[in-house]
Structure 1
């Protein structure tokens, strides 16, 4: 499995500096719902400390954790793709400190600095590919555990 991509660390220093000028420090207490699936995706975060659980509702009363994020991880990518709605929910598993970015401001910055735009989109795509690979591995593991007694 490949190593997780940390968004701010992969940006070249000039582009990272321009992007972080737009950052606002925020704090989420433990057990805070940060966003819900289907809500408007108009911002994203880079986790500074703490842990965030990405959740998927499986019934009206039950959610499952599909990923856990920590320091340096990107929280939220739906702001980059229409229809700009969250695909998952997110909850602070512990107290979380993060940099928050307004999506519209970041998209304007990407238009002004196409190099930043390309690097940012490529980095988000690599993060998504890594998360997909991780999720696929977890699903295969679960499938194998539940079907190990019989033929596949």
Structure 2
């Protein structure tokens, strides 16, 4: 199955190129917290190399890893929708090289070019839907009496 949530599958080439003109290369060692639930979402990343675990705080339990992200995948979608607060946490699981984007600058581009904005919204919306599904399945696997049934 081909993912529609990676940058290359999620955005047509012209819009990808427009977005990438605003990228800044960054790197993080393993074990770095990129963001925490409930904090302000003012940037996002696209993984070049390495891995990032998305996690969710569950009252009375340790944080639960919801999904692992790798090459080409979007880290963070909360920057796109009000109230622009992180809904999950994220931590690098290995050294990561990524492209970093200033959320305010990208939202301004979306406002300036409505078609670009629509394509970004569709891509980010696909990511949100996929992450919601992954969260549901993971929580059912951990806490439902019979798991998610997705074996």
Per the TM alignment, residue 131 of structure 1 is displaced from its structure 2 partner at its CA by 2.0
Where do 4+ consecutive residues of structure 1 move more than 4 Å? none
- TM-score with structure 2 setting the length: 0.86
Aligned-partner Cα distance in 2 for 1:13–1:47: 17
Q: Structure 1 residues 77 and 95 mapped into 2: Cα distance closer, same or farther (>3 Å)?
A: same
Alignment correspondent of 2:62: 62
> Scaled by the length of structure 1, what TM-score is found?
0.86
Quote the offset at 1:5 in angstroms.
1.7
The 3-state SS of whatever aligns with 1:86 is: coil
The number of aligned residues is 148
Distance, in Å, in 2 between the alignment partners of 1:47 and 1:119 is 20
Cα deviation for residue 46 of structure 1 reads 0.6
Contact persistence 1:55–1:89 (CA under 8 A): yes
Please say which structure displays the higher CA radius of gyration. 1
Q: How well do the aligned residues superpose, as a CA RMSD in angstroms?
A: 2.4
Give 1:128 deviation, angstroms.
1.3
Q: Does 1:130 align with 2:130?
A: yes
User: Aligned residue for 1:22?
Assistant: 22
2:78 aligned residue = 78
- Could you tell me which runs of 5 or more consecutive residues in structure 1 were left unpaired when the two chains were aligned: none
Residue in 2 aligned with 1:88?
88
